[in-house]
Amino acid sequence: MRSIQFREALREAMSEEMRRDNSVFLMGEEVAEYNGAYKVSQGMLDEFGPERVIDTPIAELGFAGIGVGASMNGLRPIIEFMTFNFSLVAIDQVINAAAKMMSMSGGQYSCPIVFRGPTGSAGMLSSQHSQNFENWYANTPGLKVVVPSNPYDAKGLMKSAIRDKDPVIFMESEQMYGDKGEVPEEEYLIPIGVADIKREGTDVTIVSFGKMMKVALAAAEELAKDGINAEVIDLRTVRPIDYKTLIESVKKTNRMVVVEEAWPLASISSELAYHIQSNAFDYMDAPVKRVTCRDVPLPYAPTLIEASLPNVARTIEAVKQVMYTKA
């Protein structure tokens, strides 16, 4: 099987869907002439032309609204935010229009739109360009929220997102666009809302998604050297969440640690801890532990970034706490 970059997997998914369905188009800042800020859309303008790969002004509220209106009228827009930090400018269109359209119209209007772009820390970009909003959007009924961790999942989930009848928030990491992974040439789709067990284990369940899957898997490898066999689960989507897979894993391992890049308050990890301890309490040998970003705006200095974000050492420490602490 060939190995391609994360950005190439996304490009293939969008291009294949645009060839399959003329109602699909891409719109956002620098997606056309510049080939995308992270070169995700490289070459797409040449193939599909300026009517379907559309450069916009720096006006997220405006082009997000155009996308919502287009989706209500039979088209399937892909709206790229240069970073999800900038989606805050357009959040009224995402939350009060796209997410609520099906419900408020009594089913008369659907809103098949994908909002996509990078999320989270990307190095020394400081506080205003390093935030995670997965839990914000996942808190909104009417939205689906996808956060892939590798090229294979990115392509399969993107194709499913474009075909979905509901608005989908598709969040990528700036630090993963160059990551390589095996992706088949033949078409495939990954259903939204299905988690994936990336590593089988028996002693503890480590749950994560997106870029933090690297931390979770690396921690599992280190823990194996100490005789701790960790099962690692990639949520892939944080709305809907595949609770069934998590519960079945905890029934086997009796312990859970959640690794998440976002701040701790009202996070995805908070929801998982509540749900698992409410629905699998009798199987738990220790409380669920969370490893999240420190509760501060992300600093600029690389040493402080390292101290703020979840890492392998903090994950290993959390696992050992649940291994050796009784509920």
Computed on alpha carbons and rounded to an integer, the radius of gyration of the chain in Å comes to: 20
60 classed as catalytic = yes
Residue type, 272: L
Q: What gap in Å lies between CA 39 and CA 10, rounded to an integer?
A: 10
The residue from 12, 60, 80, 134 that is catalytic is 60
Q: What gap in Å lies between CA 270 and CA 265, rounded to an integer?
A: 7
129 classed as catalytic = yes
The angle, 0 to 180 degrees and rounded to 10, between the axes of the packed helices 213-225 and 312-324 is 60
Q: Are 73 and 50 in contact (CB under 8 A)?
A: no
Q: Hey, what are 281's tokens?
A: 């309490």
Q: Are 246 and 272 in contact (CB under 8 A)?
A: yes
DSSP bridge pairs for 171: 117
Q: Please, what sign has the CA dihedral across residues 290, 243, 327, 221?
A: negative
The residue from 8, 17, 29, 129 that is catalytic is 129
Q: Is 24 helix (H, G, I), strand (E, B) or coil?
A: strand
How many helices (H) and strands (E) the chain has is answered by 12, 14
Q: Hey, what are 325's tokens?
A: 């602490």
Among residues 312, 314, 254, the alpha carbon closest in space to that of 285 is found at 254
Q: Please state the φ and ψ torsions of residue 99, each to the nearest 5 degrees.
A: -65, -30
Residues 6+ apart with CB under 8 A from 100: 142
Q: Which residues participate in catalysis according to the annotation?
A: 60, 129
